[in-house]
Amino acid sequence: MAKLEELRYRSAYFLWVGVFFIGVFALIALLYGATAKIDYVWHWFDVPKYIVNQERIEITAGMGGEVAAIEGEGKDAVVIVKDGDDSESYPMAEAEEIWVSKGDFITPGKILGVYHKWQPGILLQGMWLTLKVSMYAIVFGILIGMLGGIARISKNPALKWSAICYVELIRGSPLLVQIFIWYFVLATLFNRLLMVYGFSEIDALYYGVAALACFTGAYVTEIVRAGIQSIHRGQTEAARSLGMTGPQAMYYIILPQAMRRILPPLAGQFISLIKDSSLLGMIAIRELTKATREAITISLSPYEFWFVCAILYLILTFTLSMAVQYMERKMAIQ
């Protein structure tokens, strides 16, 4: 009787798993059907070269003359060119094949050998920039948030009210507007000042990082505040009753405990940050989204590239969330 129940339960379970996959395939088929209807031609084979591509590099002779000798083999091969008393040698370490042989007379610019080099395509470069910008913003966001969170719960009104104003201002306006303020107002102003005093300008990238860091910092401030306040008052009292100063109690007792509770919401915040960094394309920073748009302009395949772009973001966010889960587990074992 119980067996039968279980069997029915299990077959129902697999039925719904089937429904799930059918649904997914139906959705893909629907999308494909719709694009076929408007004669969109998918060019998936175009995509990889925007991620990595091979560049052809030529080793050319700098002077004309006779190939006097080819010394060594394979990786150690060196082509020696002689013209009267002049002589030059060209290491052919990376060349796949040597195109000249001993005794050939060559003109300057003659190709001695060719090799191919892998290099990141525009999408990978964009992804790298997204990662870089996000990492900077995360580091500074944590710093700002730690200080902000501590200021937020301080009894000193100057600190406390500054923190409240900062958080409310940042949370109350769109990130895109903040990025524009950083780029069109603060960056222009500051770069002009730098020029007046004879320094060189700061790259737009850093203003973008600053905008993201300030934005994230406000949210981290709130997360840190909540984390600190979630630690029971008795912990501070025990530390203070032993003669520790306020900062000592904060550093040795409160923050280490708060960190564990802060970590999960912090991870969520940083995943949003990676996604929000896509707005930096608006101020000419060539992060992943902007790079995707450029790739589309060249390839004229928008459908493929937007999907690829989304998947590349997913790789970044998923890696981050796995890393945080790993840290959480390590901290829990302690």
Q: Which residues here bind other proteins, judged by CB under 8 A?
A: 232, 234-235, 237-245, 248, 252-253, 256-257, 260, 334
Between 239 and 295, CB nearer to other proteins: 239
Between 74 and 234, CB nearer to other proteins: 234
Between 143 and 238, CB nearer to other proteins: 238
Q: How far apart are CA 298 and CA 166, in angstroms?
A: 42
Neighbours of 167 (CB within 10 A): 21
Strand order in the sheet with 105-106: 86-91, 78-83, 65-71, 105-106
Question: Reduced to 3 states, what is the DSSP secondary structure of residue 39?
Answer: coil
Between 162 and 229, CB nearer to other proteins: 229
CB of 166 to other proteins, least distance (A): 26
Neighbours of 107 (CB within 10 A): 9
Q: How far apart are CA 12 and CA 18, in angstroms?
A: 10
- For the record, the structure tokens of 73 come out as 């083999």
Cβ(208)–Cβ(278) below 8 Å: no
Strand order in the sheet with 97-98: 52-60, 111-120, 97-98
Between 253 and 312, CB nearer to other proteins: 253
State the pairing for strand pair 78-83/65-71.
antiparallel
CB of 241 to other proteins, least distance (A): 4
CB of 262 to other proteins, least distance (A): 13
CB of 143 to other proteins, least distance (A): 22
CB of 133 to other proteins, least distance (A): 33
Between 107 and 334, CB nearer to other proteins: 334
CB of 237 to other proteins, least distance (A): 6
Between 249 and 291, CB nearer to other proteins: 249
Q: How far apart are CA 158 and CA 152, in angstroms?
A: 10
CB of 322 to other proteins, least distance (A): 24
- Pick left, alpha or beta for residue 198 (phi over 0 → left; psi -120 to 50 → alpha; otherwise beta): left
CB of 224 to other proteins, least distance (A): 17
Concatenating the DSSP letter of every residue in 221-273 gives: HHHHHHHHHTS-HHHHHHHHHTT--HHHHIIIIIHHHHHHHHHHHHHHHHHHH
CB of 252 to other proteins, least distance (A): 6
Between 75 and 232, CB nearer to other proteins: 232
Angle among Cα 318, 323, 327 to the nearest 5 degrees reads 145
Q: How far apart are CA 70 and CA 67, in angstroms?
A: 8
Between 257 and 317, CB nearer to other proteins: 257
Q: How far apart are CA 257 and CA 246, in angstroms?
A: 16
